[in-house]
Structure 1
Amino acid sequence: MRQQAVVGPAGAEAYLRWAELPGEGEGVRVFLHGLGASATFDCSEAAAHPALRATGHRSLLVDLLGFGWSDRPADFGYTLEEHADTVAAVLDADGIRGAELVGHSMGGAVALALAARRPELVGALVLAEANLRPGGGAWSRKIAAWPEEEFATRGMAEFTAGESDPGYLATLLADPLAIHRSAVGLVRGISPGLGQVFAEYDGPKAFLVGELSRPYPEEGDAVEAGAHILTVPAAGHPMPVENPDGFARAVAEASVRATAAV
């Protein structure tokens, strides 16, 4: 486990942590997780898959602040832009440029925010059912509708009590404050919009859709943005944990296409 000190808006240091898998090539692949999740948990099996190891990329499985193994500072805003800046701090500290970003759900929105703010850090975008439209997703909208303090004190417990998927609850490794503020950030989006950033990104880009998610409304947006569409079989939205083999193979195909396009 590695860590990088990042500075929040109040000036206090917090540590963002990530796991790293070595690769034989020069490429770097960065996994960014969804709302409430953790890349070190959700993406570890996929990242170690032979199909991805064969690409030669070094893989960084980043737990965003407030999630997984990373610190959970109360003075952090947890907006998409702030999450993107902490990822940028990791890449800057390691001298990484042109990374392949693999962003699942909210992680895809963070990847788009990073591409908008620091385009030199991004060499390819692989988005797995990422937020492309304003207003967030169904889950983030429900969370954002709670007043922050109420969600932190009782809303989180009530919300998870109504969740029927034990597999999803197993991945819920986050601070309630971080979940709420991140959900608010997803609903607010960024300027320009996430879909516009994806459409205007001129590097290699792919959009992964779970077979069980279809019809998936934002798939059409990804097609219009010029992304290559890949299907993860036998999986819905939580595809990295539902079918890590299929997820890894789809990411590997996107990576091969990205390499060929360079």
Structure 2
Amino acid sequence: MGKIMLCFPQGRYKALTMSYDDGVFADRRLVALFNQHGIKGTFHLNSGLFGSSGRLTGEEAAALYEGHEISAHTLTHPTIARCPKELLVHEIMEDRKRLEQLAGYTVRGMSYPNGSYTTQIKKLLPGLGIEYARVVQTTGGFDMPDDWHEWRPTCHHNDRLLDRLQTFLELDRPQYLFLMNVWGHSYEFDGDHNWELIESFCEQAGGVESIWYATNIELVDYMKSFDALKFSAALDVVYNPSAASVWLSVDGAIVEAKGGCQTRLC
């Protein structure tokens, strides 16, 4: 029986994703940095606040975030743990509807506004079409999340970002999967006068062959595709019912299990 392990695309074992909230003017500069260095971001937006002070219009957001992910952040950014569930449903579903009209695809993720959530809210989200939700509490580490509806990122960008990046880059243990997930608000770079921080981060983090650059939802979808794989009893064949490929390490050899296909593993 062979040793079979999940890999990220092309056999990688590291992934980087960026998660930024509110859809503000400073996202223009941040997205330009991401694009320059091949880094992907997820941008959590309040569609009911488009065009208000300091915030992008919906039309600009649709164009600006092309190639990244548009995600929900509720319609008007209330502290949802204090809201009745009827208002919660409205805030999420209306935000999704408006964002989907702009993005042209199904919006399936969110970050909690004001970092506010409860166990009851988490249980409601799958029924509202939300497949992941990012919190503001961080881990300081690079483990994959075990609860997509309480997704704890590695760090806020003001929390030893470059030190953590160096640790991430130096990791050399392909028997594990490592994920670095950075969150924040781009307006903080203006307020803290530290754009050089994220500029340095992007220069060092971008263009690294061993890293998979992904949006939040791409990570969720990839892991679900792995969970959907159908292995034979002898573990010598796998069928991938998903549309997208999944990469596996089989006794150290990288195997691509193509979507919709059956793949022999040995």
Shared topology, TM-score over 0.5? no
- Structure number with the bigger relative contact order (C-alpha 8 A, sep ≥ 6) is 2
TM-score normalized with structure 2 length = 0.29
Which structure has the highest helix share of the two? Answer: 1
Structure index of larger Rg: 2
